[in-house]
């Protein structure tokens, strides 16, 4: 459910909770999250008659304090919030959206796939969803794990993640244009990191709000978590990188980390990373057929230290394995215990 594996320790220049103007009338408000990436970016698009919020963090006490401080620094008031755009369904991007919508009456926009997902995931259906995900991972060799929400007081969950009801959300689709505060933004559907993730592109000046599709320092987590999801998320993701690579972007505003300028260069780096990862996995499987958890343990070499990280690591490996299987490089075999192994085709 998070966004990237803890691939390396915190760097000295890693962003801390802050608020600053990163482009004309666009504020980046960085708030803490209880996941390995530590922070998430919310963006405020400021106009003459109010402002628009891109993504909504999580409602933990430290995130609430950081958001309030950021709004004060940008001189923004919640009652002047006109719209909220939710780029995808992950908790660190939707957590305070319901509360902010209630307080402001703002319109909420989201892609239809992930709008359906938030109603399933966060409208008290998470235990059933997690049960299906756990069964899926068991077939790929991962022992039973616990959900991070199990460590949170039940009464506090609604404060941390509260999403707007279905009736309050306007769904948007690929290629649609949104008019926000008098500016036009093109909706670009970029499945991969989530099935219904969207980015926004402003043609007037090349501002690209990239969500978790293109990150500056790490690669987004591309994982397969359930047989009910799109079956080949890595293929989706690589196609989505091609889809945005040639945009005339002047600045890329990511969901995590600092803004960047070279969109095409960064998409090429990420694509190469996935090619290298698949080559590593093929080398391991040539020795003997293996399940995804065995491969993840070898690949990440002791860095999967929490249940969340283990699920993310296995999901990422499954996405690579399925991508190679669809391309005819691998095949599935099953053990007597119905564990799925991958072998050279």
Mean pLDDT of 70-85: 98
Within a domain: residue 93? yes
Within a domain: residue 271? yes
Mean pLDDT of 166-194: 98
What CATH number is attached to the domain comprising 187? Answer: 3.60.15.10
Q: Is the pLDDT of residue 338 over 90?
A: yes
Within a domain: residue 237? yes
pLDDT tens digits, 50-77: 999 999 999 999 999 999 999 999 999 9
Within a domain: residue 197? yes
Within a domain: residue 295? no
Expressed as residue numbers, the domain containing 223 is 18-275
Within a domain: residue 120? yes
For the chain, the domain total comes to 1
Within a domain: residue 33? yes
| Residue-level pLDDT at 32 | 95
Enter the pTM of the model.
0.93
Within a domain: residue 7? no
What phi and psi, each to the nearest 5 degrees, are found at residue 305? -100, -5
């Amino acid at each position: 459910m998070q966004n990237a594996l803890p691939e390396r320790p915190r760097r000295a220049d890693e962003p801390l909770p802050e608020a600053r103007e990163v482009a004309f009338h666009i504020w980046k408000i960085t708030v803490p999250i209880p996941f390995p990436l530590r922070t998430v970016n919310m963006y405020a698009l400021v106009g003459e008659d109010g402002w628009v919020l891109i993504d909504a963090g999580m409602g933990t006490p430290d995130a609430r304090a950081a958001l309030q401080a950021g709004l004060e620094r940008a001189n923004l008031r919640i009652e002047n919030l006109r719209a909220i755009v939710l780029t995808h369904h992950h908790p660190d991007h939707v957590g305070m959206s319901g509360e902010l919508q209630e307080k402001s009456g703002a319109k909420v926009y989201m892609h239809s796939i992930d709008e359906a997902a938030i109603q399933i995931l966060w409208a008290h259906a998470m235990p059933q969803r997690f049960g299906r995900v756990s069964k899926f991972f068991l077939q790929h060799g991962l022992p039973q794990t616990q959900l991070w929400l199990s460590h949170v007081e039940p009464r506090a969950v609604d404060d941390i993640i509260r999403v707007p009801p279905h009736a309050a959300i306007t769904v948007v689709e690929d290629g649609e244009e949104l008019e926000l505060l008098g500016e036009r933004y093109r909706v670009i559907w970029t499945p991969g990191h989530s099935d219904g993730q969207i980015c926004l592109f402003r043609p007037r000046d090349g501002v690209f709000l990239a969500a978790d599709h293109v990150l500056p320092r790490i690669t987004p987590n591309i994982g397969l978590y359930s047989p009910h999801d799109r079956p080949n998320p890595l293929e989706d993701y690589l196609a989505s990188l091609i889809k945005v690579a040639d945009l005339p972007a002047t600045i890329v505003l990511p969901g995590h980390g600092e803004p960047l300028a070279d969109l095409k260069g960064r998409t090429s780096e990420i694509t190469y990373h996935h090619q290298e990862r698949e080559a590593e996995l093929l080398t391991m499987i040539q020795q003997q057929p293996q399940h995804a958890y065995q491969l993840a343990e070898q690949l990440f070499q002791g860095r999967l230290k929490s249940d969340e990280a283990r699920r993310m690591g296995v999901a990422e490996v499954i996405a690579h394995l399925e991508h190679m299987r669809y391309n005819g490089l691998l095949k599935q075999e099953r053990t007597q215990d119905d564990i799925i192994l991958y072998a050279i085709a």
